[in-house]
Amino acid sequence: MINIVFWAGNRTIGGVDTWVANLKKNVKSEKCRIVTMGDFGTFAGDQKVDINIYSWKQAEDMLLKLSPAVVVPNWKFPLFGVCARLMEKGAALRTLGMCHSDSESEYYQPLSWYESAISKFIAPGPLCREELIKYLPYRKDDIIYLPYGIDIPRANDKRYTLDPLKIVYFGRLRQEQKRVFDLVSLSKILTDSNVNYVLDIIGSGFDSAVLEKMISGAGLSGRVKVLPQLPHSQVLKKINDYDVFVQASGYEGLGLSMVEAMAAKLIPVVTKASGGAWTVIKDGNNGFCVEVGDMERMALALKNISRMKQEEASLIGEGARMTAREFFDINIIWPQFLDIAGLCLEGTKRKWAHGNVLFEKKGLFPSYLPFSRFWGMIFMLVFKLIPRDSIRSLLYKTGLMK
């Protein structure tokens, strides 16, 4: 039995955690077992991690017990360094690097620094693969394109409201990547164009408070609401109430929330975020795309949808669902993922390039997790008094942690 160990868990629910949840739910193989570990306790809103980590020393001990294993650190890059040290000592471990987003600082640069500990790479978007190859041309054959997989719900006879047009965005509320403030500009244009609509924004993130102030200041509170983050399983039920999914992202890896909306027959109206799933959208057939920042064009697409007949909207919604089923069905994706994990185990151990240095230096703290068990327990006590998200937010704002 081989363990595939994923790092998971965060305050905000994002595509990475929901992808891990989908894999854990759907992988059925006698040859491997999906194990989750993390320092937040839960992931995807309502799933408990199998192993709650409070120090890197504990992570080392757990990985030794789980070996032979393929470790997928996701965004928790220091875990590559921990694995590198264990592999140097002969542990039966290999690592798989996920390039989850088309971002130099978030993925290309750190994956390049930890490259010597990584057996294979997966990019969920074709453009992410192309860009990562530019950073690591000598690893081209080890960088594999494989999209995320999702559960495809049963087909249903969805009815579209259209008047009012019910619009939803669900995901992380971050301006830097998701450009959520553009949704305020979009709403202003729709209101000025006399479109009868409502927009629900579901999620949480560092920019949620500013977003709510912008909505209120623009006099849009009657039409636009920021709803609290929901567990992923509840979001998938709630989105059936909407006609359209919008996304204004500046860059993506795939855009998993868009794919989930398409599978539920929502009509996607999204930006051509680099690396995103918009690459499978054909305007008017299964959704609509506009350039990043072009809220005038996005508003026009939404206005046109609001004027459609039920039959026309249904055809586009069904096209969206068929696209999700063709390209992103978890039952097709997970066997391919296991094949790649198997290639990691078959490959020879790579030599760590950074000597005794395990963590890339980024700010004063590469991670708030300490190495020792003792300080790990102290940190856990502190987190009971002061929410770790408050501490992390302060460290990010001051530049002490990246």
Residues 180 and 87 in one domain: no
Using DSSP's 3-state secondary structure scheme, residue 235 falls into helix
Q: Which domain, by its residues, includes 264?
A: 165-328
224 in a structural domain: yes
Same domain, 287 and 356: no
Q: What is the pLDDT of residue 390?
A: 62
* 165-170/143-145 β-pairing: unpaired
pLDDT, residue 361, reads 77
Question: Is 160 inside a domain boundary?
Answer: no
Same domain, 11 and 102: yes
Per-residue pLDDT band for 397 (boundaries 50, 70, 90) equals low
Residues 333 and 348: their CA atoms lie apart, in Å, by 25
Average confidence (pLDDT) over 304-333: 97
Indicate whether 324 and 342 sit together in one domain: no
Nearest 5°: phi and psi at 366? -70, -20
Same domain, 35 and 117: yes
Q: Can you read off the two tokens belonging to residue 395?
A: 């460290």
49 lies in some domain: yes
Task: Judge if 186 and 201 occupy the same domain.
Answer: yes
Same domain flag for 291 and 363: no
**328, 362, 379 - which closes a domain:** 328
Domain boundary among 296, 328, 360: 328
Q: What is the pLDDT of residue 402?
A: 53
Task: Answer yes or no: do 297 and 367 share one domain.
Answer: no
- What span, in angstroms and rounded, lies between the C-alpha atoms of 151 and 149? 7
Task: Give the per-residue pLDDT at 275.
Answer: 79
| Gap between the Cα atoms of 115 and 350, Å rounded | 9
Task: Verify that 129 and 247 share a domain, yes or no.
Answer: no
User: What does the DSSP assignment read for 51-106?
Assistant: EE--SHHHHHHHHHHH-SEEEE-TT-THHHHHHHHHHHTT-SEEEEEE--SS-III
| CATH number of the CATH domain containing 273 | 3.40.50.2000
Structural domains of the chain, count: 2
Q: Does some domain include residue 286?
A: yes
Calculate mean pLDDT across residues 100-106.
Answer: 94
Residue 228 is given by DSSP the state P
Residues 87 and 229 placed together within one structural domain of the fold: no
Strands 2-7 and 69-72: parallel
The answer to the question of residue 221 being in a domain is: yes
Cβ–Cβ < 8 Å for 92, 114 = no
Could you give the percent of the chain with pLDDT greater than 90? 77
Distance CA 196, CA 370 (A): 53
CA angle (176 as vertex; 175, 177 as ends), nearest 5: 95
What's the Cα-to-Cα distance from 178 to each of 10, 123, 204, 206, 334, rounded to whole Å?
Answer: 17, 19, 12, 12, 27
**171 within a domain of the structure (yes/no):** yes
Residue 158 lies in a domain: no
The answer to whether residue 39 sits within a structural domain is: yes
Domain end among 311, 328, 345 = 328
Percent of the chain with pLDDT over 70: 93
The reply to whether 128 and 209 lie within a common domain is no
